[in-house]
A and B are shown apart, each in its own frame.
Chain A
Amino acid sequence: MQNDLQNYENPRDESRRDFLKQSSLLSAIALTPGAIRRAAENKWDEKIADEMGKVPLSLEVNGVPYNLKIDPRVTLLDLLREQLHLTGSKKGCDRGQCGACTVHADGARINSCLSLAVTNDGKKITTIEGLSRGDELHPMQEAFIKHDGFQCGYCTSGQIMSAVALVKEGRTQCAEQISEFMSGNICRCGAYSNIVKAIQEVKNQQS
């Protein structure tokens, strides 16, 4: 039986010889837009302007101190992901609408996508990468694995950072309260009930 969804990508059959024929077309393409040339010419000015616009920033991420100079437009999330290569914190919306970027700033859970990195000067940031102690996972990480609190895993860092904070905040009286106070973390895979179970387990371990 035929599965429509699998043939959806390449509905037609193709033959390899045809590609080869086509590749000669590539040599016909040799365009260079003016922007590239100009960017090269102007590089010097640009670098000065760039440096002038940068702002110093000292912060600690997962216990590691950083002294940086950055473009003030950079959000904490983009600083983590693109410059410090801590890609555990995720970007799902970039507008505070999903919670995938949740990290702790001085212990409080925040959406790092709406926080300009420079405003975190002097702060201690904890990301998912800083939660475990070496090989030893944080109990919340263990509980997420045990209760299968995720599927694709993309919301998971945010969920776990949120959940760790939630337990600290003491918002774990009942499933309903956990759900309400975990509602800033969207999971499109729909792992919510398992997430609640994982949190309950950690809470019970602690009490």
Chain B
Amino acid sequence: MDKSLIGDPLSRVDGRLKVTGGAKYSGEWELPGLAYGVLVPATITNGSVVSMDVKAAERAPGVLAVITPFNTPGVPGFKPDASQPVRGLKLFNDKLIYFNGQPIALVVAESFEKATHAASLVKASYQQDVFETDFDKNRDKGVVPQGGKYKDYVRGEADAYKKAPVVIEQEYRQPSEMHNPMELHVTIAAWDGDDKVTVYTKSQGVIGTQRSIANAFGLKPENVQVNSRFVGGAFGSSLRTWPHEIASVMAAKLLKRPVKLTLTREQMFTLVGHRPLTIQKIGLGATSDGKLVGITHESISQTAVYEEFTEGSVNVSRFLYESPNANTRYKVIPLNVGVPAPMRGPGEATGSFALESALDELAFALKMDPIELRLKNYTERDPERNLPWSSKYLKECYTRGAERIGWENRPSKPGTLREGEWLAGYGIGCGAFGAFRGRALAKVRMMADGTVNIQSATSDIGPGTGTAMTLIASDLLGVPAGRITFELGNSSFPTAPTQGGSSTVSSVGSAVHDACMAFKQKMYALAGMPENSSDPIDYVAVLKQHNLPFFELTEESQSSQQAKNYSMYSFSAHFAKVHVHPLTGAVKVKRLIAVVDAGRIVSYKTASSQMIGGAVGGIGMALTEEAIFDHKYGRYVNGNFADYHVPVNADIQDIEAIFIDKPDPYINPIGTKGIGEISLIGVAAAIANAVFNATGKRVRELPITPDKLI
């Protein structure tokens, strides 16, 4: 594909709307008669609601309804015999409480203030059962998850590392982290009669939400309209339809009025998922010259008692490095917590923190440069699937990152480099994430004046989907970007997959690609030119000639058969330079270089921002983020934005993204592999390794707060 336009630094196509406050997020639609819903959380951690006193709440001014397990109108999809039963927690369906903060009532009132106040008046009495939120206490209760996907993996011999001349065996802990997108999760539901509903909700996949709500309420999917045009960040927290979304649809149906239900920041800590607390044991065995002979990766994660959540935290150890022997074990511990959800770089971010830290420990034990160690164990094929990589330029990532950060300044002896009063150190951490392509459709329509409109039911949670799609279309059609509009976030548009797994450009971009190609061919045909011509064409003249007010077509696109013969991943190498204060334990990430092999980069400007943003998330994971429980009560003690620390501006100094920018020949017609996850995977290890290099202190428990370094 011609590189002339793709890769151009086009500013975001929705930039103007976002800087003027004109972008409408889901909670911001004005609907006549809008009522406000507020959830009432349970204050016990396990047990059941015995009785509730809602009189005061019901009598409070402006209250329209108080829905509880005792009077719920119910949801068809909650019935056990429903053909597609709703997955996960079914709000108000029964009186059982599985975790602290689980909603026990939904109060709907004329105003937000009235609903909030009335919610505070709801009283409940409980039967309390013994609960378990303490991961460490329950470590021996891990179970292998259901389904075959997470069964033990062995290549060669299990635990072979133990017999190697040089052995590293360590445990790494990553606490629960919260997605914490800036936008509060919100849903507005408005029914039109009994069988049609429009839902404005924070969603990464309008088609998925449409199907879930249709399932839950026994509606035809086309009778459920889902709108999520602007999404204020999500990072995985909006990949599924959550109980509160169903609840707002239920309340709107009951009241025959539009209902807006907004979660509080505090509620988001329990109701929309988290990256689960995970403890990992890594065993690495190597020859004295640094050749790996065995990798063992064991992982144990928390999940909810009422729904199982799993993720591939051990997977990375199966393929990232060459080793004749590799084995992984994965278990989960069901606890009285809200169910986790995939969070940016799910599984791999967790796994690579452990693996890449252990590798650094091995390099230190071997007195070897960490990059050299990685090169020594570089894989030219996927050892797990025994397939060739579709493309892999990780070596180039090492070289370019090392050069850019000044790797030669890294002291081989930790704790020996001073810069002013600070200890300085360098570290590397790598990552990989599967490159995917899903089935997607796109509709291209050109008006008589030559302007183009493209629609696809994808989302944009921040990466700049519309911008990338506009660039692809502009390049293929030869129409200036300014004359193209791309619309998304609406379930009535042609089907597209949920925005997750870094695959939007690959999937939807391919659909746009294919649709534009087909469009062009049709236009050439109409013009009486050869279909595969590359001569310039005057679309407006063609449309006029045929007396067409517009011309449109929809194209479906999906992965080729050939792609199955390759193992497809994006790869990244992150380089960190840190300062650590010897007295206060403060860590400053002075520089972070993210070098990524993600195939062809379609929109350079937004891709850079996404890489940098992922690195900021990685800095949070490394240094500041941890959701903390009080196990006596089973409640979070820092469930808010002041005490759960995401990085602020002052935490961020110099971050740079470098793209290898070589197209992958197999994944899709564009050659793009995806960067959303890879931007974060490996960052925490890079920083932890740099901290070790600066101080000689190996921190194996994230986050690396000052107390761990003094």
Contacts and interface: CB of A to CB of B under 8 A. Distances in A.
Asked if A and B touch directly (CB within 8 angstroms), the answer is yes
Given A22-B77, A128-B21, A9 B239 contact: yes
Interface string B60-75: 0111111100011110
A110 interface: no
Given A5-B346, A38-B59, A152 B233 contact: yes
A90 B232 contact: yes
B503 A3 contact: yes
Contact of B83 (A3, A21, A29, A190): A21
B615 A95 contact: no
Interface in A1-60: 1-6, 8-12, 14-16, 18-26, 29, 31-36, 38-39, 42, 46, 49-50
Closest 7 CB pairs of A and B: A88-B21, A190-B616, A154-B232, A5-B500, A22-B218, A153-B18, A18-B83
17 contacts: A1-B437, A3-B436, A5-B236, A18-B84, A22-B76, A22-B77, A25-B218, A33-B58, A73-B117, A90-B25, A93-B265, A128-B20, A129-B21, A151-B463, A152-B231, A182-B650, A191-B609
Contacts of A193: 612, 652, 654-655
A50 B63 CA distance: 12
Contacts of B184: 91-92
Contact of A151 (B17, B255, B462): B462
A33 B67 contact: yes
Contacts of B113: 71, 73-74, 78
Contact of B112 (A36, A82, A86, A187): A82
- Interface SS, B side: loop
B208 interface: yes
A39 B82 contact: no
B16 interface: yes
Interface stretch (B175-183, B353-361, B541-549): B175-183
A76 interface: no
Interface string A151-180: 111111100100000000000000110111
Contacts of A175: 653
Contacts of A68: none
Interface stretch (B209-217, B443-451, B628-636): B209-217
Contact of A148 (B28, B84, B605, B652): B605
Given A16-B221, A38-B59, A189-B462, A3 B28 contact: no
A185 B650 CA distance: 10
Interface stretch (B163-171, B403-411, B639-647): B639-647
B24 interface: yes
B613 interface: yes
A146 interface: yes
Contacts of B615: 190
Please classify how large the interface on chain B is, using the bins under 10, 10 to 19, 20 to 34, 35 or more. Answer: 35 or more
Contacts of B461: 152
Contact of B497 (A6, A145, A155, A188): A6
Interface stretch (B7-15, B124-132, B276-284, B323-331): B7-15
B342 interface: yes
Given A82-B112, A144-B19, A9 B209 contact: yes
B640 A97 contact: yes
Given A4-B312, A23-B76, A145 B221 contact: no
A67 interface: no
B648 interface: yes
Interface in B243-297: 254-255, 262, 264-265
Nearest to B434: A1
Contacts of A92: 182-184, 265, 641
B700 interface: no
B413 interface: no
Interface string B151-193: 0000000000000000000000000000011111000000000
Given A50-B62, A88-B20, A89-B21, A188 B265 contact: no
B240 A9 contact: yes
Given A3-B436, A16-B220, A152-B183, 13 more contacts: A4-B312, A6-B436, A23-B76, A36-B65, A71-B114, A152-B462, A153-B17, A153-B19, A154-B183, A186-B646, A189-B233, A190-B647, A191-B612
A61 interface: no
A125 interface: no
B610 interface: yes
Nearest to B184: A91
A16 B211 CA distance: 10
B501 A148 contact: no
Q: For A96, A131, A190, which residue has the most chain B Cβ atoms within 10 angstroms?
A: A190
Interface in B26-66: 28, 30, 54, 57-59, 61-66
Contacts of B464: 151
A59 B218 CA distance: 48
Contacts of B180: 188
B61 A49 contact: yes
Interface string B220-232: 1100000000111
Contacts of A85: 30
Interface in B54-110: 54, 57-59, 61-67, 71-74, 76-77, 79, 82-84, 87
A100 interface: yes
B235 interface: yes
A3 B507 CA distance: 11
B317 interface: no
Contacts of A2: 436
A31 B71 contact: yes
Contacts of A120: none
Interface string A174-207: 0110111011111111111111100000000000
A6 B175 CA distance: 25
A85 B29 CA distance: 9
A178 B265 CA distance: 27
A183 B650 contact: yes
B438 to A, nearest CB: 5
B574 to A, nearest CB: 14
Given A36-B255, A49-B61, A8 B239 contact: yes
A177 B649 CA distance: 10
A10 B20 contact: no
B198 interface: no
B11 A46 contact: no
Contacts of B642: 93, 95-97
A4 B463 CA distance: 20
A129 B230 contact: no
A30 B30 CA distance: 28
A100 B681 CA distance: 27
B207 to A, nearest CB: 9
A5 B239 contact: yes
A89 to B, nearest CB: 7
A121 to B, nearest CB: 18
B241 interface: yes
Contacts of A192: 616, 647-649, 651-652
Contacts of B58: 33-35, 38-39
A165 to B, nearest CB: 14
A8 B240 contact: yes
A194 B15 CA distance: 14
A81 interface: yes
Contacts of B650: 176, 179-180, 182-183
